[in-house]
Amino acid sequence: MKPLFAALALGLLATPALAVDLETHAPHPFNVRDLVMMDRVSDPQLSPDGRYAAFGVRSTDYAANKGINAIYVLDLKKGGEPVKVVDKGSSARWAADGHSLYYVAAADGISQLWRVDLGTGDKLDLAGHKAAVQVSHGALDLGGYKLAPDGKSVLLSYEVYTDCADLACTKERIDGREKNKATGTVYDKLFVRHWDAWANGRRNQLFIAHFDGQGMLPAEPTLLSRGIDGDIPSKPFGDESEFAFSLDGRTVYFDVRIAGTSEPWSTNFDLYRVPADGSSAPQNLTEANKAWDAYPVPSPDGRTLYYLAMKEPGFEADRFAIMAMDLQSGATREVDPQWDRSAGALTIADDGKTLYATADDEGQHPLFAVDAASGKVTKLVGEGTVGGYSLQNGKLLLARDDLKHPVDLYLTDASGRGLKQVTHYNAERLKNARTGDFEFFTFKGWNNETVQGYVVKPVGYKRGQKYPVAFIIHGGPQGAMSNGWSYRWNPQTYAGQGFAVVTVNFHGSTGYGQAFTDSISGDWGGKPLEDLKAGWKAALDKYSFLDGDNACALGASYGGYMVYWMAGVWNQPWKCFVDHDGVFDARMMYYATEELWFEEKENGGTQFDHPENYERFNPINHVKDWRVPMLVVHSGNDFRIPITQGLGAFTALQRQGIPSEFLTFPEENHWVLKPQNSVMWHETVNAWLKRWTSKD
């Protein structure tokens, strides 16, 4: 009877995801159905003359439980609707002549480089173009690419065995491993696994290939990263911003962390220079800095290399300063020492005088222009989040979103003037799906310092009424809840369910100066908790529609850690908790996670050298004081915070008789990404919140 009862119980818990009406055309509060079916616009790319915008759009095939990536082009001069030029593909980049687009798509199950020719002359034929042609025929999946400025060659990234002489060798080994009936693997160093993948002995390596007279690439490109024991681009989230051509195409720059035996506790990325013909081995340009150097951008005149650099080894959330290196002398200078923000990857103007970067800034994520000589910083586009941008011919094309709108594309000049929206994806969905208004507020937090948060009103808000509250705690911990759209922790999904939302950017958050960000290290349960308490009180005092007696706290990653911490030390105000992939036992977290540099920085060293630091704010030590009902969510492929952390917390809850549920997705990682899993996640969380805040 017990196995049958368990199966029935699991089936009942899974039912919310099955009852999904995907299309609701009548006006209604925003919900997860709207969220998962929205078109996701990304990767804006201006043509060399600035007339055409190429970009990616991910639509959702809900039945197949996956996203479909397509490529669109918009004639910015003519206007009108974008034209789909590639049904399935991503990473579109313009050819040097502006008449063709390169992109990545599968051929016989292997990711390859393709080209679609859009016509000749001043006006492209977007609707009547020729069929796309496959231009690479490599034996392995293409991981990333970057075209040379003259369009005659291309940088390619492949994951290979570094002792193989060619791609075919790596393919033969992969095929041989798949045929082997013995499935064991012997490891002699870390990483054994990283993020959501087990180490397979292969490295991302950088190659170059030249187009022939017919525009085709050879099956075997030339290796440029010879002798480099590291990944180019980095795993798991690196991209083509980590390598670059010089303007004359003769030199290639890239960043890499040498692995050796210290990879899991090192953030020492360095910049390398290598001849584009592969005639000599790469040369380390930033060996003196033992912290993170990355994202090379050569100046148009070839004299200067701009890049980003941190100063503190082993600290992934240190400030990224903009650096300039004289390529002849090797001398370096910091371009922006007076700017207390951490810059994102750089773009440089054609005249070399202006650099462009995004950065977190007091709840927003704007685009900035930085004078390359003086370091003067100018905010170009302030409100909302600029998630990507392209600069060509004095124009900027931006991917921009905010708390009420998913990404669309906007056009402005290089000075940020005349901002104009040029795409309107999801307009019909947003017309029918009502969202809640939001407002930022500030208060005095730890040490009487100013802290910022925001409140989102529930959909259908009426003055004089009180509403239950979802108190969301962000992860990172060096992150922020900002004015941006999200497909994982979107406040509008709670506002649409009738909840008000409160969130606080506590000490440790980004966008408020580096000292503010640094202050969380070694004090996970201290200053941030004080800020959360003060922010909760400030919100209740300021917004009378918040029902402080009917509130639940939710958090993921560090936010999940904080939920476990609050369960033992600040549980009085809360009707329920939701914990997603949180740290339950700081002691075991050190030995089970993969990126040890993070744990060692946040806790002042290793666990075996400083055990007291790991116990100071360890949630497991306060389990006896837990009493609030909790939903625990933890997935099987989360190697950042392994699933045993969530299972341990659920055991603690069940053993004490505290009302609790455990939701797991065996194939998901630290995030829940598949459309149907996302729906189930939201339906389960919403049901939990309503169960404990309902007045019935």
Beta-carbon contacts of 584 under 8 Å, excluding residues fewer than 6 positions away, are: 561, 564, 619, 620, 645, 646, 648, 649, 652
- Measure the CA–CA gap between 94 and 98, rounded to whole angstroms: 6
Residue 670 designated active-site? yes
Task: Return the SS3 of 239.
Answer: coil
For 193, the token pair is: 């696994």
Residue 622 designated active-site? no
> Which amino acid makes up residue 619?
P
Catalytic residue selected from 557, 635, 660, 678? 557
Catalytic residue selected from 336, 670, 678, 682? 670
Listing DSSP states for 165-196 in one string gives SSHHHHHHHHHHHHH-S------SSS-SEETT
Cα angle 392, 396, 401 (rounded to 5 degrees) comes to 145
For 102, the token pair is: 């390169």
Q: Which of 194, 274, 288 is nearest to 228 (CA)?
A: 274
Task: Return the SS3 of 528.
Answer: helix
Task: Return the SS3 of 326.
Answer: strand
Phi first, then psi, for residue 542 (nearest 5°) are: -90, -35
Q: Which of 564, 591, 590, 592 is nearest to 651 (CA)?
A: 564
Q: Please provide the distance, in angstroms rounded to a whole number, between the alpha carbons at the two ends of the chain.
A: 33
- For residue 397, the Cα-to-chain-centroid distance in whole angstroms is 20
Phi first, then psi, for residue 41 (nearest 5°) are: -90, 140
- Measure the CA–CA gap between 72 and 129, rounded to whole angstroms: 13
Q: How many CB atoms lie within 10 A of CB 126?
A: 18
Q: How many CB atoms lie within 10 A of CB 627?
A: 14
Q: Which of 522, 657, 534, 673 is nearest to 602 (CA)?
A: 522
- Beta strand 304-309 pairing with 293-298: antiparallel
Catalytic residue selected from 638, 660, 678, 682? 638
Residue 336 designated active-site? no
Element (H, E) at 611: helix 611-616
Indicate which residues carry an active-site annotation.
Answer: 557, 638, 670
